[in-house]
């Protein structure tokens, strides 16, 4: 497999909720019952989403990564899941790199990393002594210990500082992996923010703009810190269309992002 497109992210990259389109079209009776996802039927809704192969196929084919892959004419390697953390995806990228080192027939051409909110890594850092080895490997004992000793409860300024420090650290870690991919395979590497701490992203905006790996999201001549902020302010959530109790990007948004990224990376 040559000319690989690697995409890593959380539920936004996974394409969570896109199956609602085909659910509405083909199974409207149950759609009307389950589209709001009340607590008493959530398990039934999830079971149907996870086991209906029509749903899985539609979600897979219509998420931005697959649409982008078709535009590029590449082979897709995607790793994403609901609620995934940045450290999870960084570790996944490490695993792929080890695979590439040992398999010369796998040649990455593009790598796109979708950041999620750093809060998903805070608990891992706080419990670094009991977490997977890669948490300590990535952040280091001194960094983890410093955050563990911080008293940031009910202190927004301290929490902003911690989010900011973790974000900058994670970008440094990612760029070290990008450097290897670029130097070894001439792979083009990029990152953007799907979810994230808007304060930290905006605070470092000028720094990011100087980074050739960074893709800023611009929709209708307006810049947005995250894909989430963009879809919230432009009615591009599943909540807006087709109209379900879900704030993930809708089909129109996935199509837009695939087109946008295509023109940014080629």
Predicted structure pTM score: 0.94
Q: Are 66 and 76 in contact (CB under 8 A)?
A: yes
Homologous superfamily of 4-18+63-265 in CATH?
Answer: SGNH hydrolase (3.40.50.1110)
pLDDT digits over 144-160, tens only? 999 888 877 677 888 89
75 exposed, middle or buried (CB, 10 Å; 0-12, 13-18, 19+)? middle
**Confidence band of 1 (pLDDT split at 50, 70, 90):** confident
Q: How far apart are CA 138 and CA 136, in angstroms?
A: 5
pLDDT tens-digit map of 45-73: 889 999 999 999 999 999 999 999 999 99
Name which of 130, 63, 121 is nearest 91 in CA terms.
121
pLDDT of 39 above 70: no
**Taking the CB of residue 239, how many other CB atoms lie within 10 A of it?**
17
Q: Where are the domains of the chain?
A: 4-18+63-265
The pLDDT assigned to 45 comes to: 84
């Amino acid at each position: 497999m040559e000319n690989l497109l690697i995409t890593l992210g959380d539920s936004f990259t996974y394409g969570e909720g896109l199956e609602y389109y085909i659910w509405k079209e083909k199974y409207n009776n149950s759609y009307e019952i389950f589209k709001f996802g009340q607590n008493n039927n959530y398990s039934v809704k999830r079971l149907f989403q996870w086991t209906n192969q029509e749903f899985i196929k539609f979600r897979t084919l219509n998420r931005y990564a697959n649409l982008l892959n078709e535009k590029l004419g590449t082979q897709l390697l995607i790793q994403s899941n609901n609620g995934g953390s940045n450290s999870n995806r960084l570790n996944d990228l490490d695993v792929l790199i080890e695979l590439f080192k040992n398999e010369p027939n796998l040649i990455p051409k593009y790598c796109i990393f979708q950041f999620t909110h750093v809060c998903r890594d805070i608990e891992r850092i706080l419990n670094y002594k009991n977490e997977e080895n890669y948490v300590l490997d990535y952040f280091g004992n001194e960094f983890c210990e410093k955050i563990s000793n911080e008293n940031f409860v009910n202190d927004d300024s301290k929490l902003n500082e911690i989010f900011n420090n973790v974000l900058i650290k994670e970008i440094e870690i990612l760029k070290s992996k990008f450097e290897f991919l670029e130097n070894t395979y001439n792979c083009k590497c990029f990152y953007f923010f799907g979810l994230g701490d808007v304060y930290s992203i905006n605070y470092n905006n000028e720094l990011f703009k100087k980074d050739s790996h960074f893709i800023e999201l611009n929709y209708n001549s307006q810049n947005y810190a995250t894909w989430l902020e963009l879809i919230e302010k432009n009615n591009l959530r599943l909540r807006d269309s087709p109209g379900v109790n879900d704030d993930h990007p809708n089909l129109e948004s996935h199509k837009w992002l695939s087109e946008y990224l295509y023109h940014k990376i080629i």
